[in-house]
Homo-oligomer: A and B are copies of this chain.
Amino acid sequence: MLISEIGENGLIQQINSWLTELDHDSDFSSLPLFVGLGDDAAAWESSSQMTLLTTDTLVEDVHFNFETMNWYSLGWKSLAVNMSDIAAMGGDPQYATVSLALPGDINVEDVHSFYRGAIDLSRKYGGKIVGGDVVKSQLVVITVSMIGITNKQLLLMSSANEGDVICVTGSLGGSAAGLKLLLSETASNDNKELVILHQQPNPRIADAKIIKQNGIKCVTDLSDGLFVDLLRVIQSSGVGAVIYSDSVPVNHLAKKYFPDDAQEMALNGGEDYELLFCGPVDLVNETLKKLSPDSAIIGKIVNGSGVKLVDSFGIPVELLNFGWDHFQ
């Protein structure tokens, strides 16, 4: 059945019933929900903690297309990228709204798959969809907004200091390699792991907690690419950075399938949703012991501005690309 056959109100009723059915056992939140779906706004009892709010939009043919994404993964990823932002602030995901702009000739069953993906992610990491909007559009545009909570110990981009070391929570380039497999139509069961890294990223909520508990204060998530995201950190902190190209952990399957491109994928591919964090070396060393074996120190914060990439001899390496800017 097509959306145009049941209309906006029919689709909203369907979505509300799916969410009620799929979501019935995931009442994880510490903030009691008073009003969920179906009213003018959702309402919950506030706590005396810190509230976080983030939003992210995915546009068809810009951030994804249906050659490389399915509806289930799109639901998963739309929420995951917001959870990754909440994690990068040191918070726990709580409530979310999902706004779907959709052409009328999309199957209602595809929208169902979208919500199944979103709810499966929520079951794994928390968060609950409590509202949204469904509107007609010529192309698919998905905007998720998410509320999180945290104590007052926030993990900020602007907290990098000269002398800090720069780390990542895991290997990079896997998402870009997965996308390349999908685009070249060489995705198979053998390389499914890379495809999943691209389609269904995992927000690093637990890693962020470990980082926070170890006294680190500067964290962001890697969405647009290591260099773009690091640039935001150093610009807001008023410092510069040096990255050791040989220290950046490159996904081993990316290296296997794309030996010539894997390093570039790790540096600029984006969408790995690992965390980037900076802190004093002693705190960082303690932290790394508790994170994935792929986590690593990849550089240091220096006086000045800009990001410099150097090889193992300290010789500057030229960057071919500089992350994602869809407008340019």
Chain A residues proximal to chain B, CB less than 8 Å: 3-4, 6-9, 11, 31, 34-35, 38-59, 61-63, 85-86, 88-89, 91, 95, 97, 99, 101, 104, 130-133, 135-139, 141, 143, 145, 147-150, 152, 154, 156-158, 219-221, 228, 232, 236, 325-328
Contact = CB atoms under 8 A, between A and B. Distances in A.
B40 A53 contact: no
Contacts of A137: 59, 62, 139, 141
Contact of A135 (B4, B54, B57): B57
25 contacts: A8-B326, A8-B327, A11-B327, A35-B89, A35-B156, A38-B232, A40-B85, A40-B86, A41-B148, A43-B89, A45-B51, A46-B48, A46-B149, A53-B97, A53-B130, A55-B133, A56-B99, A57-B133, A57-B135, A58-B135, A59-B135, A59-B137, A61-B138, A97-B145, A137-B139
B40 A157 contact: yes
A40 B220 contact: yes
A40, A53, A232, A325: most-surrounded residue (chain B CB, <10 A): A40
B138 A138 contact: yes
List of 10 A-B pairs having minimum Cβ-Cβ separation, nearest first: A145-B145, A41-B54, A143-B143, A136-B326, A40-B88, A55-B97, A7-B328, A40-B85, A41-B52, A46-B46
A227 B281 CA distance: 64
A145 B219 CA distance: 25
A131 B51 CA distance: 13
Contacts of A138: 61, 138-139
A315 B89 CA distance: 61
A38 B229 CA distance: 12
B41 A136 contact: no
Given A52-B41, A56-B133, A7 B46 contact: no
B99 A143 contact: yes
A183 to B, nearest CB: 19
A147 B53 contact: yes
B104 A57 contact: no
A64 B273 CA distance: 35
